[in-house]
Chain A
Amino acid sequence: DVQLVESGGGLVKPGGSLRLSCAASGFTFSSYTMIWVRQAPGKGLEWVSSITTRSSYIFYADSVKGRFTISRDNAKNSLYLQMNSLRTEDTAVYYCARARTAPTGDWYFDLWGRGTLVTVSS
């Protein structure tokens, strides 16, 4: 089956760290740009970070820049998000998603994982 499975979420205190993983299967992971998107409880979708196929280009939302680090291991078909200096406002379900390139060169996202919940609370 073509799927993405996130893991690594949990409860962490403010200022703490957590590393999320996203395991890909059923497709050639190394051929796709990947992203992380989060959704705070009862709120909308917020893009977090993107990484291209060979990790050549990496982008972050301003809200996480300097605190979060995205990476990937194509040999392990895995995507990661290292989250440091966590804040209460980082509490959310974190989704990984596969990017496709539109004819215009824009990105859109055709495959999403089920998400992993990160709760930042003292």
Chain B
Amino acid sequence: SYELTQPPSVSVSPGQTASITCSGDTLEDKYVCWYQQKPGQSPVLVLCQENKRPSGIPERFSGSNSGNTATLTIIGTQAMDEADYYCQAWDSNTVVFGGGTKLTVL
């Protein structure tokens, strides 16, 4: 079965750039989306592919997807961005989530 691998945690200072990676076989051939989940809340779609952001998601969220790695980048990270982030792809009629990355802003 298809797997997506994320680092368990990433730390960033306020105002700096955070990068969260997601790895999977030939991931560049898949449509990768990212979800943000804050404690006690449900997941929220923040980005698909490079720059497909839902209404209300700040422009500081962007992405890339090349080779076997997709990356979520947050430029000018704010304290409110502290959350768990999950990548997601679709493979052979199954939905695959990465294990999640806890982003700490300190």
**A residues in contact (CB < 8 Å) with B:** 35, 37, 44-47, 50, 57, 59, 61-62, 95, 97, 102-104, 106-110, 112-115
Contacts and interface: CB of A to CB of B under 8 A. Distances in A.
Interface of chain B, helix or strand or loop or mixed? strand
Interface of chain A, helix or strand or loop or mixed? strand
B44 to A, nearest CB: 7
Nearest to A57: B93
B61 interface: no
Given A45-B86, A59-B94, A108 B99 contact: no
Contacts of A104: 30-31
Contact of A106 (B41, B43, B84, B90): B90
Contacts of A47: 94-97
A109 B42 contact: no
Interface string B90-106: 10011111111000000
